[in-house]
Structures are given as C-alpha cells and as structure tokens.
Chain A
Amino acid sequence: KNEVEQSPQNLTAQEGEFITINCSYSVGISALHWLQQHPGGGIVSLFMLSSGKKKHGRLIATINIQEKHSSLHITASHPRDSAVYICAVKETSGSRLTFGEGTQLTVNP
C-alpha cells in the first residue's frame, strides 16, 4: 500500500462541472501539497496545507488531519484545468516529499 493514495486516477469532466480529487495518506505529516503538472513536465504548487481549508480563485483545498485525508475541488471547471494533479506530503520525520500517483484530469469543452 502506498503511503499516499489519490482517487480517482483518471477523471473526465465537461466544462463547468464541479470536480473533486481525493488524497489519503498513512504517515504523520507536517504539510500536504497539491501540485499541478502540465504535459511537458513543469510542476506548479497550488496549495500547501497543514490544517483547515484554503481557497485560490476556483480552487479549494481542504485537509482533515485526524482522518489523514485531503481534497482538492475545482469549481466551474475549464479545459485549461486539464492537467495531472498530484498530492504530496511532507512527513514530520524528514524534509522530502512523498508523492501520490497523480490524477489525470481532462475537461472537455
């Protein structure tokens, strides 16, 4: 079992739909990151969470430390949101990130 698990692995939506990507982890963490990776490779950090909820534009990220679970929500999805979304955790015992396998999101016009 991976330390960081994401669901779904693949997600196809129509433009305008509300999207949720989930992340569960099994280790103690000091922070959880939601990352976006477009074709060609560049990674963009969307959120860093240690508790509660953060919002940036149409993106919302929540984390429940007790349940070891985080969600990334996209409201009013758009084709330009199509990318791989990755959950990564920073364990309390170290400095490295442990990555989930990513969720491939495709938003069709």
Chain B
Amino acid sequence: AAGVIQSPRHLIKEKRETATLKCYPIPRHDTVYWYQQGPGQDPQFLISFYEKMQSDKGSIPDRFSAQQFSDYHSELNMSSLELGDSALYFCASSRGGRNVAGELFFGEGSRLTVL
C-alpha cells in the first residue's frame, strides 16, 4: 500500500541558503502535518493543512513557509537557513482535518543538515 512519501530523504545546505521539502500524503488523505525533530529531541509541531488551507500553526519560524497544493501534496520552504535548523522533518497525513481523530501515517522524514 502507498505510504506517505517525503523528498528528499537527505539534504545538505549551507547557512543562509534555502531548502524545500516535499510531502506526498496517502491517497485520499486531505490533512498534512509537519513536525521538526532536532537531535535527541521530541518532534515539535510546525504547521498543518486541511483541504489546502492552513488549519493549525505551531512553532514554525517566520523564515519558513508551507502550503498544500490541489493534489494535496505539501511543501515546506525554508529560507535563510541557520545551523539550528538541522533536524529531521516529518510529514504525517490523515483524513478529516482537526475535528476528526483520524489515524495518522508518517513519512520516513527528510534529514536536513545545515553546515
């Protein structure tokens, strides 16, 4: 069965560069969540989308932006990268938005290293 697909799996950037991470949810899933997990830390919620609209916002820096497209895939854009942005970025998808406790499926994550 198709899972949540994230790309790229690994990304190396230098300070002040930009990076774009992509997330393709499970077919028919309309809700996408982004999480950031620093080394040795718990995942922290960044932002979520339901039906192509932002549904919730967490600790996402102003340097980051994200959107969900008509095919429900989502992209996380990160600019002016800092060393502290080095982390594993997870995407998860579900069906039904914030008011439905739908089962979550996680991608394998995109590991960003900022040098």
A67-109 with Cβ < 8 A to chain B = 86, 88, 90, 94-102
For residue B56, which residue of chain A has the nearest CB?
A95
Q: How large is the interface on B (under 10, 10 to 19, 20 to 34, 35 or more residues)?
A: 20 to 34
Q: Which residue of B lies closest to A31 (CB)?
A: B101
Which residues of the other chain, B, contact A50 by a CB distance below 8 angstroms?
101
Interface centre among B37, B42, B55 (most CB of A within 10 A): B42
Do B109 and A41 have beta carbons less than 8 Å apart?
A: yes
A41 partner residues in chain B, CB cutoff 8 A: 37, 88, 108-109, 111
Complex interface: chain A residues within 8 A of B101 (CB):
30-31, 48, 50, 90
Question: B55 contacts which of A35, A86, A95, A102 (Cβ < 8 Å)?
Answer: A95
How many angstroms between the C-alpha atoms of A51 and B58 in the bound complex?
Answer: 27
Q: Mark B64-102, 1 if CB is under 8 A from A, else 0.
A: 000000000000000000000000101010000110010
Q: Contacts A42-B109, A96-B48, A100-B42 given; indicate if A33 touches B104 (C-beta within 8 A).
A: yes
> Which residues of A1-48 are within 8 A (CB) of B?
30-31, 33, 35, 41-45, 48
**Binary A-proximity of B26-42 (CB < 8 A = 1, otherwise 0):** 00000101010100001
Query: Which residue on B lies nearest to A29, using beta carbons?
Result: B101
Number of A-B contacts (CB under 8 A): 57
**What's the least CB distance linking A64 to chain B, in Å?**
17
On chain B, the residues within 8 Å of A42 by CB distance are 106-109
**B39-53 CB contacts (< 8 Å) to partner A:** 42-43, 45, 48, 50
- Cβ contacts A to B, 29 pairs, < 8 Å: A31-B101, A33-B104, A41-B109, A41-B111, A42-B106, A42-B107, A42-B108, A43-B43, A43-B92, A43-B106, A43-B109, A45-B104, A48-B104, A86-B42, A90-B101, A95-B50, A95-B56, A95-B97, A95-B98, A96-B33, A96-B45, A96-B58, A97-B33, A97-B35, A97-B92, A97-B104, A99-B43, A101-B42, A102-B42
Chain A residues proximal to chain B, CB less than 8 Å: 30-31, 33, 35, 41-45, 48, 50, 86, 88, 90, 94-102
Question: Interface on B for A, CB 8 Å cutoff?
Answer: 31, 33, 35, 37, 42-43, 45, 48, 50, 55-56, 58, 88, 90, 92, 97-98, 101, 103-109, 111
